[in-house]
Structures are given as C-alpha cells and as structure tokens.
Chain A
C-alpha cells in the first residue's frame, strides 16, 4: 500500500489516464463518484482528496501488473509466460441450441457456460457486456434470457469491470457468487484485484468464475463515428473480423453486409491495446475464442479446476458439442499469441524509451528477454 501527498485519483490520472495506458477495462470505476466511464474514456468530473492507498490505483492493471502475483491469485500458480498461458485442456466446442447459435458471435460457448453456471448456482450474478445503441457497457445478468441478450461482440472497449464493482456489498450481496465474462485486460484487472491488499473492499472475494475472451485488439470509441457512416447503431446486427488474409471488417445490418477496410478500422485501436501482451485471457478459469478456420465453433482453453468442472457439466448435460482442435490450429493460436506478446513488449519499450522499462508490466527477467526475442 502506498501513501503519498497526491490523491489516488491524481496518481491514476498522471500514471495511466494521461499517459495513454488506460485500456478502459473499468476496474477503477464503480467504486466512487470520481471516475466515470464515458464514450471510451474515463471521465473525472471532480478532484478526489483521498491520499491514503486507494482502490483505483490498487485495482488498475496499468499502474503495475505483477504477473506472478496475478497468476497466483487467479490460478494458484506462478506465471509461466507460455504462449497461451497455463491450461489443462484445449479443444473446440459449440452450442447444441440453434437459438444460441443464431445470437452468438461464433459457437455460443460463452452464453452456454454462463447460463449453466447460473443454473447450477456456481454463480448467482453474471457480469457481461451488452451493447445498446452501439455503446457497450457492463451489465449484471441473473437469468438465461439476460445472458442471451449479451451474446456477440462489437469490438469496442467496454468498462465492464465497473459493473462488477457496482454490485453492492450490502443488501444480501455478501453471499453473492459473481461470474465475469471479460477481455484479457478485464481478467487481468480482476486478478490484480484478488491479489490486492484492498481486495476486502471489493467484490473480489465473491468472484466465483471468470470466462476470458480472446482479444487481439479492441477499438476506441472514435470508431463509432466511422461505423455510424455505414449504418445507424440500432441497425447494426453483428460485426466480425474474418481471419487473414481477408483484410476486412464485416458489418451485418438490417439491409445486408457492409465491408470496411481493416487497415482503416485498425486506426481506431487505442495505444493501450497495443501495449497488452495477453491474447487469450490467460488468467481466466476458461478462455474462449473463435476457432479459426472452423466456422461456427469456439476454441476453449480450460485453465482451472472450477473451469473444468463447469465445462464437463455442459458436456454431461448435452449443452455443448465437443471437437478436437487440430494441431495446426493450436500452433497457429500459439504463434498469434506470442506475436501479440512480442509486439506489446516492443511497443512498451518504445513508449518507455528503454528495453528494461516495461511500464506497467512486471515480468520475471527471463520472460522479458524471451518475449523481446533476445
């Protein structure tokens, strides 16, 4: 715990927000009136005066993320730094429910697993991301219908962890078992929160399940302006980035399909995403992404015992269909993930001006050297 003359908010502004490190995960928000996520940016309407160790700087993954501490808190093991993190199983899967598949981005595994976790009582609240009028935000779902409404992605950064933080600690929430579906930065934030000395002043002790989403990059909210030129937000049904070599961003609207040049879309990737070394949400109980080249299927990476139990229950109940991930696809996934690690450490060093200064990222030296390719 750090106590300085500057308020926690001021430190967060200086070290993260103004420094361009904020990935808009929402971990600092939902805890006080001073940090308000709005339109892809953390707004700070008033100056906070709390100079004691504050939750915002303690929970933000970008004020410093010790990967060993985070991995211990999330997975119970030291950080291995393997290309797609530590895992017990990896395979492909898809929902057996056509209703789910219709709504889902790929194979519907996330919706199925979340719904099942709620039904089994593994969790009683699920923090998900829902897009309304083109703007994604965190919501708390407690029924299957609410889970289904959150299917699919729009690629925009979302302050989903704020919704996790906002679940009140009183009013019976003491017995809350919360599940969170999030991007790698959001899962990192939850892991750091678990490891924090201030964890007791958060919902981290009530975190019962994390489902991570593969993420190569996300888009800043400036992209909404570009998208609005193609279709009004309420008409956008689905967006997708087909695998290479297609260099397009597909927008499915009521009127049909529109393709945007991927290079133009990528102009809207925030700097913060370019400094992220995690593609597969390596600190989650279960990580889920597209099964590249196998349309309508998900790749599932099961990392923990509770993740494995939930996935097994889904198979046992016939909710998910399982398939093998071809070795070639696994190698490709590992290659892509390592590529993101390498780009991140290169970009961080470029920003810090030193190979030895990884800004927020705290890795054991041998891992740093491995990722830096030296």
Chain B
C-alpha cells in the first residue's frame, strides 16, 4: 500500500489539508473523483489518483470543471460516492450544471469541495464561494484544521445521502495547503456496485429543496462542528469560521483576552445553525465576526440576531461591514489582532517598530529585485517573443487577448502583448468579438492566446464561433504537453491519464482542421519561422475567419524534460558583447529577460547563469551581435 491508503487507522499523520480531505473521502468509501486542475485544490485529485489502482477508484482529470462535476454526478446517480474538488474559479465553470443538480438531487453521496484563493495568490479573481451554497440551498461545511477537513469530508458524504443532495465543503488556500497532524480512521473494506435507475427532472423542484432547508438546519445544529470556547459572559464574542477560528484563538491568546473574549466556532455555515447562535448571542452585547473574504456569516448572523430580537440598543455585530476587518485579501492573525485592539481599545504593538524596520532592511539585501518570469527554457518565452515581435513590427497597435496558463504572465511581467486576461476561454471569445468590429472602424490585429489544456477546456467553442462568424483573427495555441501552471497534469491531448494509465491523445491540430481552420505548427524556438508566420497571419488584410498557429514544445518542468541533458552549451563571448552601449542596450537581460541570463556588473556585460540556464539556445537567436554562443551537446541536435 502506498500514499494515504497506507496509514493505519488511529495513526497520526502529517498531512496537507488537501490530503486530509482525500483521506476523509477514502474513509467514506469514495469510488469516483473528477476535477480540472486548479490551485489550491489540485492535490486532492492527485492524492486520490496515487491510490486509485490499489483502492479500485476511478480518478480523472476532466476536460473542464463542468464536465468534471457531470462525471462525478454520474457516479452518484449510479449509487456510488463521488467527490469533485474545484478552485473557486472552477466552481464558476461548474455552476451551470450545479445550479440544476441541486434541484435534481443525488443518490450516492456527492461532495463538492471548493477551495477559495483569497488574496488571490494563484488566481485572477478573489471571491467567496460560500454564497453559492445559500443560493443553491445546499449544505455548507467549513473546516478550520486538517483533522476537521478529514472529519467533515466523511460527514459530508453521510449528509449528502441523508438529504439526497450534494454537499459543499469550503476550504481555502491556508486550509488546503497548510500541514498539520491528523489522526486517520478506518478505510472501508467493501465497494458499491454501480447501477442507474433514473433521476428527478429539475423543473418544479425549487419548492422541494426549500422545504428541505429547515430539516438540514436541524441536522447541522446537532453536529460537533459548532462549539463555544470562552468565559460564561465575555466582553466580546467572536463568531468565526475556517481560518478565522485558529487566527482568533491565536489573537486572543496573544492579547491575553481568554477571560474576556469568547469564540463561537462555526463549522456548518449554511443553513446557519440558528439555535447555536440563539444560545450563545445572549452571553454578550458585542459580536465580532471573523471569516475569510466576504461578510457572509456576518450578514446571516445579523438576520438571525434581528429575528430573535437580540440586535437592538447597545448591541452590535462587528466585522467587515463595520470596518474592523477587510473584505479584500487574505485573513491573517494580525488582522484579527488589529480588530480586537480597535474594538477593545487596547494598547498593543505586535512588533517593535525599529526592530521591524531593521529586519526588513536586512531581508531586502538578501533578495534580488526581479519579476515573476517564465522558467529558463520555457517554450512560452519563444512563443510570446514572436507574438510581441509580430505585433510590434506590424505597427497597427495590435494586441493579444490573454487566457489562463503560465503564458498569462505575458500581461504583467512578460512582453506585454496580452491586454486582456480573465477566465479560461475568454481570450478566443474576446478575439472572436474584436474580429467582427471591422464595420465600426476596428483595424487592430488580434492574436488570441491559448494553452493546450485551455484549448480543450474552453477554447474550442470560441474557435468554432470565430470560424462560423468569420472573425478575422489569429489563434495561437501553445502546446506544451501538460496543464503546466498547476503542476503538469495530463489533459486530453496527452497519452496518459490522471492514474498514469494509457489514454487517447486528442489532436489539437485535428480539431482545428475539423472546424475548417487553416493550421500551421511550429517549434516556438524557431524564431526565424515563427515571427514571419505570425506577422503574415496578422497582416492578412480582409481575410475572413480565424487562422491557427500551434507552437509545440514540451514544458521544461515535465519529469522527462527536467531530467534530460541540455540541448546546447550556451556561453557569452564578452569580448563581443556590446553591453549597455549603442547597438544593444542590454537587450538580452533587459528586453528578452530569461532567468538564465545575468548581468556581470564588474564587466558591464551579460553572462550566462549556469545554474539556471536550461541550454535551450533561444537567446543566441536574439543577440544583435551574436555574442551569445551555443554549441550542441549531442551531435544529433
């Protein structure tokens, strides 16, 4: 046995929150798991995929999140337990189906784990998925620790089958990616047999699920996930969920407020546990709500507090709406401390100001000033260099419509061709629209960007739209053999699946040809060909319909790429390098910007950082005086 399946019942394991969720699902007897990769949710599927074979699970990376939830639902409809982890943005993709599934209901336990990314660290948007549970009238659980992540996941499957509907479990970056000790339970020894016997039609079921809500509420009131901790009559009551709970405990301890501030831990946050709240509100006159992102509990608590007549006179519900906490960015213990200090009018300084300044000054010396950039050897650098060159050479203020993948870095720290970038598939959709604005005087060339995984996920409908409606655009597909940004997961274009079994590789080129779109395939490192091809594509005056250019080269972080010997030995002949002078102006380090290139301050010339250089040789093509030399390491290159 391996991975999470190898832990004996009762043992304590150091687990990521996402691993604890996966183990909880395994203990609950999950048989099917499906998702599309998305930080911070990805490890749930990866953990289950690792043990798929020995536990006889079916685990898949689906084409996109909506397909993923539909796949998981099929298992549920057939009586099996299934899990569908998503990031908050993936939840939006799945919503079209989920907003009907809540009406249809499920059979086998179905748990939708949504991992929010406040701040956001690895997303283009920050939002609070909890409001979806309220909107869809489905139960919502919010773990605060690894142990709870495991326990709540198990409970969620039970609850799902009891109420005949899916259950939402909301994690966030610090829960999913935090590591803690978790005591694991028993794994089941039997599996269910899949058999489908029909489902209810969704229409006309709104009233049914509304009528279920009080019953669900009653069940959640009884769970051990809502607990009060603190004095009988605190000066202030903190009501907290998720990360807000450990942060509140920490803040109260640091400020020495254990005797004056109580904490009501809420683990079930839709339907709100009204009786629990009714019981604890009268302990005090002031409540501070501590939660991740929106004032979701805060607003619901106000409703309950008003309904029961508590919220009157001197009494107050404080939090984000009162300005003591912020709705933007990630919650931190410092933010909770700040709120307590303000509300309770305390004298508190978390760190000595002078010490903090000295520490910051010292830390700044240790880090170099650099942007987020593509890895040395990344094929995207070649692709997006060609995009920039083609659009700038064309000179008509052309631009790229961005999408989601590592290439999204073009917009902020790359070459700046991409002027849009929001959700997967939006790049081609925008381009399709721009490509039809000619009748209104629009003349700028447009290149839609797409990755390979993104192409399958959401670009195909936009491309069909562009073809059908004759939008005059170029689609650039950067095919690097992986869903690279989330850690090189497989996608429908590669020949293995999430469980490392052989899969059918669907051809991007074949799809484009099937749509009737002219396709050209290039190596993104062949700038002599890619720049003229892109220039020609954007300069096709009056052409009707899209053209596709595929840039094909594997991600350098794929295991076989990472471990292989470099293609070239690359070095700089500093006697030829023009450095900062006319004719160059630090072109390689300042404009081309590969982390494998460094600036030799002493010499005033560029040099190769042998530790970072991947030996791709791309930079040798852009040096204006050919001072960057490359020599094949293997004769075959």
Check A26 for interface membership: any CB of B closer than 8 A.
Answer: no
- The verdict on A49 contacting B585 (CB below 8 Å), with A32-B624, A33-B624 known, is yes
Q: Which of A32, A47, A54, A56 has the most CB of B within 10 A?
A: A32
Nearest Cβ distance between residue A29 and chain B, in whole angstroms?
12
Q: Which of B12-20, B205-213, B294-302, B575-583 contacts A (4 or more CB under 8 A)?
A: B575-583
- Give the complex CA separation of A257 and B583 in angstroms: 45
Partner of B388, one of A34, A38, A45: A45
- The A34-67 residues at the B interface (CB cut-off 8 A) are 34, 36, 38, 41, 43-50, 52-56
Stretch with Cβ within 8 A of A (4 or more), from B57-65, B344-352, B372-380, B389-397: B389-397
Please name all residues of chain B whose beta carbon is closer than 8 Å to the beta carbon of A54 when the two chains form the complex.
582
B590 within 8 A of A: yes
- Asked if B622 and A43 sit within 8 Å, CB to CB, the answer is no
Using A33-B624, A45-B388 as known contacts, say yes or no to A50 and B585 having CB atoms under 8 A apart.
yes
What 0/1 pattern do residues 74 to 105 of B give for CB contact below 8 A with A? 00000000000000000000000000000000
Question: Which residues on B sit within 8 Å (CB–CB) of A107?
Answer: none
Any chain B CB within 8 A of the CB of A201?
yes
Chain A residues with CB under 8 Å of B310's CB are none
Contact A32 B585 (CB under 8 A): yes
CB contact list, B215-236 vs A, under 8 A: none
Indicate whether A74 reaches chain B with its CB closer than 8 angstroms.
Answer: no
* A46 lies within 8 A of B582 (CB): no
Known: A46-B591, A49-B590, A50-B580. A34 touches B392 (CB 8 A): no
The size class of the interface chain A forms with chain B is 20 to 34
* Complex: A43 Cα to B541 Cα, angstroms: 19
A8 within 8 A of B: yes
Measured CB to CB, the nearest residue on chain B to A201 is: B582
List A1-33 residues whose CB lies under 8 Å from chain B. Answer: 7-8, 31-33
Q: Which of B392, B394, B582, B591 contacts A50 (CB 8 A)?
A: B582
Please pick, from A36, A44, A45, A52, the residue contacting B582 in the complex, using a CB distance under 8 A: A52
Considering the complex, give the chain A residue whose CB is closest to the CB of B390.
A45
Closest A residue, CB atoms, query B586: A49
Q: Min CB distance, A233 to chain B, in Å?
A: 15
| Distance in angstroms between the alpha carbons of A46 and B576 in the assembled complex | 22
Report how far A7 CA is from B393 CA in the complex, Å.
Answer: 20
Among residues of A, the one whose C-beta sits closest to the C-beta of B626 is: A168
Q: How far is the CB of B119 from chain A (nearest CB, A)?
A: 32
Chain B residue with minimal CB distance to A38? B393
Query: What is the bound-complex CA distance between A371 and B591, given in angstroms?
Result: 46
Q: Is B308's CB within 8 Å of the partner chain A?
A: no
The CA-CA distance from A50 to B579 in the complex, in Å, is: 10
Closest to B587 in A: A33
Q: Is the CB of B392 within 8 A of A43?
A: yes
Does A31 lie within 8 Å of B395, measured CB to CB? no
Given contacts A32-B624, A34-B585, A50-B585, contact A45 B393 (CB under 8 A): yes
CB distance from B163 to the nearest CB of A (A): 60
Per the bound structure, the CA–CA distance linking A347 and B459 in Å amounts to 53
A contact residues around B328 at 8 Å (CB): none
Which residues on A sit within 8 Å (CB–CB) of B576? 170
13 A-B contacts (beta carbon < 8 Å): A7-B585, A32-B582, A32-B583, A32-B624, A33-B622, A34-B585, A36-B393, A38-B393, A43-B394, A46-B392, A53-B582, A55-B583, A56-B582
Residues of B within 8 A of A (CB): 388-389, 392-395, 576, 580-587, 590-591, 622, 624
For the A-B complex with A43-B392, A43-B394, A47-B591 known, give 13 more contacts whose Cβ atoms are closer than 8 Å.
A32-B582, A32-B583, A32-B585, A33-B622, A41-B395, A44-B392, A45-B389, A49-B590, A50-B580, A50-B584, A55-B583, A56-B582, A201-B582
